[in-house]
Amino acid sequence: MQGRVIKAGVVKGQALVSSEPMGFLGMVDPDTGIVIEKNHPLSGECIAGKILIFPTGKGSTVGSYTLYRLKKNGKAPLAIINQQSEAIVAVGAIIAEIPMLDQLDITQFKTNDWVKIEQDQVTICHEESL
Amino acid sequence: MLFDDDLSVAQHPLESVFPIYQKVSAVELTNEEKSILDGKQGPARQKAMEIVVALGKIYGAENLIPIVSAQISGVSYKNLGDPGLEFLHEWAKQGGQVSVPTTLNPAGMDLEHWQELGFKDDFAKKQLQVIDCFQQFQIPPICSCTPYLIGNLPKLGDHLAWAESSAIAFANSVLGSRTNREGGPSALAAALLGKTANYGLHLDHARLASYLILVQCPLQNEADFGALGYKVGKLVQNSIPYFRGIHHATLPQLKALGAAMAAVGSVALFHIEGLTPEASMKHTLADHYQTIEIQDLQDGYQKLNSTASDIDMVAIGCPHASWEEIQHIAGLLMGKKVKAKFWITTAAPTYYFAQRAGLAKIIENAGAHIVSDTCMIVAPLQDLGIRSIATNSAKAAYYAPSHCGVQVRYGNLRACVDAALSGRFTDAG
């Protein structure tokens, strides 16, 4: 699949997929990487080291700095894939240097899929055989 | 804990919730812009270009355009916190300088008189570190939400990258300049490059109003304009309103109207028939619009007021007070003594003006303070022991309960000065 590069990078990891938009300020614990937003499909999950996949961002603009802080704490996602990116997460990904793509059909991904990102190319595999 | 203009939740124009496969738009870059993106002019400018290009992609910009000035938000340590400070520090260390005149939003304290105003050492230390980062980018340490009052004054049609919501509303509407609602990092990125992505309010077609607001009640003072701004901001959210029926407005009144609508909704541009430049020059109402009649301001006042009567602090100057407002306050305070703490927040150059004009002395003799560089919203009010404030700012009244944990009374300047003198807010202001 081909996406649109927001922040370029080459990574491989396991997907964590949310069907709902994600915010970061007050919704992800910057020290643990655990989603603390109540009633969110990923509530209680840890985003650290995952290819985090969600439709789009939401919430306070300080969320960009939360992504930066997650990165500094070693709890950032490995990469971010959005269906349609917006400014908060995009700026956060750039300043935190987290590879990010958008304009991909995120219904193609399932949690725990192995996902490989090389610039604008994305490959999905259901096992670690990439 | 926010860095964009103020304290609002970001509202970017996401047309629908999850559009799949929107048309992929390419931002056309010049060779020089490409070389910056490739890092040939250093990491600081590369990061700036990555941010500007990413926003250009997201919002469908065809190219980048030169800007004449920038206004950076995310200056108060209270909003930035350690992650924001660390990020600025790291970016500043990469060695970049702003390419256009750039001003800073209010900091969390008066940069000179913080000690006597009761700010804590720890907070001050961090705040001064933030300012130091900005100085490394060659941004002067003058912090104000009213850049247009202190020399960052763009003209009709000028493109800008401003991030303070009330200043954005003022620049787009009253000055006829063009800026989107930038965030802290994107405004700084644009300042470094002297360019921003060409989308949204930079384009003619995006500057048409989709609401016609028929104002059918008199507007007598800045608090009336603020209450109107509250009502209209709630109704139109991030749309552009076109006012009919406002026949006269002073600078402080326009400042109050825009600030309220920008805080309560996320209005970045408004037109006033017969008053604002674009509305006077051309047709600025879209073909299809909704009409709203405003018959009174009562519910605006109601929503902005708590029931507190004892007032710990009176806070004037959100957005920062102009010299005419300071003059007005000096007139009301002459020869009197305040009972409540009384802050008039303003830009340092305006404070200098007040000193030269002898107004500062009158105000200080009454026991009030003219406070520079900060405001009641981005300062750590709770640390200063404040539980209730009175203000003539609808923006401050809207934010203070949630962001400062205080009770608020909202009224016009005279009512606020009376509250300062008596320590009690009475409705007959």
> What pLDDT digit, counting tens, does each position of A7-64 carry?
999 999 999 999 999 999 888 999 999 999 888 999 999 999 999 999 999 877 778 8
Looking at beta carbons, which residues of chain A come within 8 Å of B15?
none
Residues of A in contact with B83 (CB under 8 A): 30, 65-66, 68-69, 72
- What is the least distance, in Å, from the CA of A16 to any CA of chain B? 18
For residue B73, give both structure tokens.
């938000």
pTM across the whole model: 0.90
Q: What mean pLDDT, rounded, does chain B reach?
A: 92
Contact B9 A60 (CB under 8 A): yes
Q: What is the pLDDT of residue B10?
A: 39
Predicted confidence (pLDDT) at residue B209 exceeds the cutoff of 70: yes
Q: B154 with B176, same domain? A: yes
pLDDT of B429 reads 43
What would you report as the CA-atom Rg of chain B, rounded to the nearest whole angstrom?
21
Query: Do B118 and B42 share a structural domain?
Result: yes
Distance CA A48, CA A96 (A): 13
Set A18, A60, A64, A129: catalytic member = A60
Q: Is A18 a catalytic residue?
A: no
Total tally of structural domains belonging to chain A: 1
User: Mutate which of B5, B79, B87, B93 to test chain A, going by most A C-beta atoms within 10 A?
Assistant: B87
Tens of pLDDT, residues B121-171? 999 999 999 999 999 999 999 999 999 999 999 999 999 999 999 999 999
> Which of A26, A55, A65 is nearest residue B87 as measured by Cβ atoms?
A65
Residues A42 and B266: their CA atoms lie apart, in Å, by 29
Please check whether residue B259 lies inside any domain of the structure: yes
CB B328 within 8 A of CB B299: no
Tell me, yes or no, whether A130 lies in a domain: no
Give me the residue from B19, B82, B86 closest to A84, CB to CB. Answer: B19
ipTM of the complex: 0.81
3-state secondary structure chain B: CCCCCCCCECCCCCCCCCCCCCCCCCCCCCHHHHHHHCCCCCHHHHHHHHHHHHHHHHCCCCCEEECCEEEECCCCHHHHHHHHHHHHHHHHHCCCCCCCCEEECCECCCCCCCCCCCCCHHHHHHHHHHHHHHHHCCCCCCECCCHHHCCCCCCCCCEEEECCHHHHHHHHHHHCCECCCCCHHHHHHHHHHCEEECCHHHCHHHHCEEEEEEECCCCCCHHHHHHHHHHHHHHHCCCCEEEECCCCCCHHHHHHHHHHHHHHCCCCCCEECCCCHHHHHCCCEEEEEEEEEECCCHHHHHHHCCCCCECCEEEECCCCCCHHHHHHHHHHHCCCCCCCEEEEEECHHHHHHHHHCCHHHHHHHCCCEEEECECCCCCCHHHHCCCEEEECCHHHHHHHHHHHCCEEEECCHHHHHHHHHHCECCCCC
Of B283, B301, B319, the last residue of a domain is B301
Do B105 and B224 have their domain in common? no
Could you give the maximum distance between any two Cα atoms of chain B, in Å? 68
| Residue B25, pLDDT score | 59
Question: Domain for residue A55, yes or no?
Answer: yes
Which B-chain residues 89-118 have CB contacts (< 8 A) with chain A? 91
Domain match, B35 and B70 both: yes
Task: Report d(CA B129, CA B137) in Å as an integer.
Answer: 13
Residue B284 has pLDDT above 90, yes or no: yes
| pLDDT category of residue B14 using cuts at 50, 70 and 90 | very low
Is B319 among the domain residues?
A: yes
Are B61 and B200 part of one and the same domain?
yes
Is residue A64 one of the residues assigned to a domain?
yes
**Is there a single domain that holds both residue B64 and residue B46?**
yes
B117 and B226 assigned to the same domain: no
**Does one domain contain both B63 and B105?**
yes
CA atoms within 13 A on the CB side of B350: 28
What residues make up the domain containing B317?
305-422
- Residue-wise pLDDT for A72-123, tens only, equals 999 999 999 999 998 889 999 999 999 999 999 999 999 999 999 999 999 9
Contact flag A59-B4 (C-beta cutoff 8 Å): no
Is B298 buried (19+), middle (13-18) or exposed (0-12) by CB count in 10 A? exposed
Q: Is A120 part of a structural domain of the chain?
A: yes
Does B8 map to a domain?
no
Q: Residue B19: which pLDDT band, with cuts at 50, 70 and 90? A: very low
Per residue in B291-325, pLDDT tens? 999 999 999 999 999 999 999 999 999 999 999 99
pLDDT grade for A130, boundaries at 50, 70 and 90: low
Whole-number Å distance between alpha carbons of B235 and B241: 10
Q: Which of B22, B58, B183 sits opposite A61 (nearest CB)?
A: B183
Whether chain B has a CB inside 8 Å of the CB on A103: the answer is yes
What is the C-alpha separation between B49 and B33, in angstroms, rounded?
A: 8
Of the residues B204, B234, B268, which one is the last residue of a structural domain? B204
Q: pLDDT of B70-128, one tens digit each? A: 999 999 998 888 889 999 999 999 999 999 999 999 999 999 999 998 999 999 999 99
Assign A40 to helix, strand or coil.
coil
Residue B153 lies in a domain: yes
Tell me the nearest-neighbour CA distance from B23 into chain A, angstroms. Answer: 9
CB A124 within 8 A of CB A113: yes
Residue B18 has pLDDT above 90, yes or no: no
Contact yes or no for B51 and A94 at CB 8 A: yes
Residues B324 and B271 in one domain: no
CB atoms closer than 10 angstroms to residue A40: 18
Per DSSP, the residues of A107-128 read GG--TT-EEEEETTEEEEESSS
Q: Is residue B428 part of a domain?
A: no
Hey, are the CB atoms on A65 and B83 less than 8 Å from each other?
yes
- The whole-angstrom distance between B46's CA and the closest CA on chain A is 11
Whichever domain contains A42, its CATH number is 3.50.30.10
**DSSP label of A4:** E
Residue B428 pLDDT: 54
Pairwise CA distance, residues B212 & B290, whole Å: 6
Interface residue B50 vs chain A (CB under 8 A): yes
Q: What is the CATH number of the domain that holds B406?
A: 3.30.499.10
Look at chain B and report how many structural domains it folds into: 3
Residue B139: what pLDDT?
Answer: 98
A64 or B257, which is more confident?
B257
The arrangement of strands across the sheet holding B388-391 comes to B369-372, B341-346, B313-316, B388-391, B407-410
Report yes or no on B7 lying in a domain: no
Closest-CA residue of chain B to A91: B51
H-run or E-run covering A71 = helix A63-72
Q: Which of B204, B235, B262 is the endpoint of a domain?
A: B204
Q: Does A62 touch chain B (CB under 8 A)?
A: yes
Residues of chain B with C-beta less than 8 angstroms from the C-beta of A6:
54, 57-58
> Nearest-CA residue of chain B relative to A101?
B54
What are the pLDDT digits (tens) for B359-418? 999 999 999 999 999 988 888 888 889 999 999 999 999 989 888 889 999 999 999 999
Q: Are residues B3 and A62, on separate chains, in Cβ contact within 8 Å? A: yes
Report how far apart, in Å, the C-alpha atoms of B197 and of each of B49, B79, B169, B412 are. 10, 26, 19, 40
Residue A18 domain boundaries: 4-125
* B355 in the same domain as B220: no
Q: Do A94 and B47 touch (CB under 8 A)?
A: yes
> How long is chain A?
130
Whether residues B44 and B119 share a domain: the answer is yes
pLDDT per residue over B220-254, tens digit each? 999 999 999 999 999 999 899 999 999 999 999 99
pLDDT at B184 over 50: yes
Across the interface, whether the CB atoms of B1 and A62 are under 8 A apart is answered yes
Does residue B364 form part of some domain?
yes
What integer pLDDT is reported at residue B378 of this predicted model?
Answer: 84
Could you tell me if B49 and B183 lie in one domain? yes
Average pLDDT over residues B167-178: 98
- Is A128 in CB contact (< 8 Å) with chain B? no
